[in-house]
Amino acid sequence: MSRWIVGKEAEMLHDFDLNRPSSEETFFWGVSSSAYQTEGAHDVDGKGPSIWDEFSNTPGKIRNNENGNDACLFYYKFEEDLRMVKELGIKHFRFSLSWPRILPEGTGKVNPKGLAYYDRVIDTCLEMGIEPWLTLYHWDLPLALERKGGWANRRMLDWFEQYVSVCARHFGDRVKKWMVLNEPLVFTGAGYFFGVHAPGRKSMSDFLAAVHHATLCQALGGRVLRQLVPDAYIGTTVSCSHVAPKHKHYFDRGAVRRVDALLNRLFVEPMLGMGYPTEDLPGLRLMEKFIQPGDEDRMPFDFDFLGVQSYTREVVRYSLFTPIVHAKIIPPKKRPGLITEMNWEVYPQGMYELLKKYSAYAGIKDIIITENGAAFRDEPNGRLVKDPLRMSYLDQHLQEVMRAKREGAKVKGYFVWTLLDNFEWAEGYHPRFGLIYVDFKTQKRLPKQSALWYAEYVNA
């Protein structure tokens, strides 16, 4: 870290609150990433195509018609990037495995070169004193499986079980921190209902089927990991946002309950054995046609931790004509306060509210914030990118994390999204979330001041 801090480049690092857990506590400080958003090398060494390979190369789907074919070239530059993680003093690195890199057709024959690549990444992490945290599914479904119906096909349970088994058997001797799914509501909702993410479907029926099959796979993946890696620390992650009413009257409060059930409880309560939150969101009963005998017993799993991924809050009002939720989100530009490049409101208190909310569930043991961060306009200037807005965002959210922790929240870790500026799905390369600036034309890396601030925070 010290080689990056020169003279006035260190300014502002001490302007924020460095309150953090004591050195005696077990608290995981890390950074997160994902395969498709960083690796590139989309068609090398036997990798099969994913739904995102097809979607991002379809004109009109991604901002500026960009794609993830190269992304950050992490496939080739992982040693350089992990060295930066080490020099920052960050001990935990979350990344995902690419399903089509390991099983090009989604099932059947394993690609040895894909396994060998992740062996190199994992072994390099361990050699550098960085603990790898693996996410099994971060949205890049093998295209061959989408051709068979994807997440809307119940056969997904068999396909997913084979994939998890291959990964657990091969990497479980070295990797002890695992996450099953990344934000299932996003890849089912954006991918199968709104059609703005891969695979680009717009079907209520496909969405509900995908939700149920993802719920079953969430628990199934946990059971496979528990059997094959018995000493593993196993979790799964959910996207979530604190939900507030536009007005305090009855109708808007009802809208909050329905939206909260969809955004924050849909995948959490089934894993806890509580079933789907149909009492507060009756529209979910449409899913009953996809629920088979015995499924209620297959939905729960006793996870070691819940991965919470939150960036903003939602303000809602009652809307008669919006199906299922009967609620409408108030656009962030109509709310007071700072807005990020993703058009998300900066609302740090929402993190506190979510941690208190999930800590109240008796079945949740630990909470790890597996993603939190912000995209702002970054302009390189010399050896260091100054990004005070990102530093302020991280500082304010960490203050709320520590406030919740002091009040008994079960939070045990915090991972920044993300290490590198990367491919941000439908938004392409425009939003920059990284602690490290990436020039996508030259693939050169440049640290941001927020990286140095975070390094000081976690090593204080």
The SS3 call for residue 210 is helix
Scanning the structure block, which residue is given the tokens 């939602």? 314
DSSP result, 225-290: HHHH-TT-EEEEEEE--EEEESSSSHHHHHHHHHHHIIIIITTHHHHTT----TTT-GGGGGGGGG
- The per-residue b/e assignment along 43-75, b for 16 or more CB within 10 angstroms, e otherwise, is eeebbbbbbbbbbbbeeebbeeebbbebbbbbb
Instruction: Compute the Cα dihedral for 359, 361, 366, 367 and give only its sign.
Output: negative
Of the residues 183, 314, 345, 424, only one is catalytic, namely 183
Give, to the nearest 10 degrees, the angle between helix 204-228 and helix 156-171. 30
Q: Which among 146, 345, 371, 424 is annotated as catalytic?
A: 371
The sign one gets for the Cα dihedral 360, 137, 350, 330 is: negative
Token pair of 410 as six digits: 């079960």
Interstrand relation of 313-318 and 233-239 (parallel, antiparallel or unpaired): unpaired
Q: What is the DSSP letter of 62?
A: S
Mention every residue, 6+ apart, whose C-beta is less than 8 A from residue 203.
152, 192, 193
Of 298, 6, 279, 322, which Cα lies nearest the Cα of 193?
322
Is residue 183 part of the annotated active site? The answer reads yes
Helical (H) or strand (E) element with 390: helix 388-406
CA pair distance 307, 333, nearest whole angstrom: 29
Please state the length of the chain. 460
> Which residue in 44, 33, 41, 37 sits closest to 82, CA to CA?
33
Sign of the torsion formed by the C-alpha atoms of 399, 405, 406 and 408: positive
- C-alpha–C-alpha distance, residues 244 and 285, integer Å: 25
Residues acting as catalytic residues:
183, 371
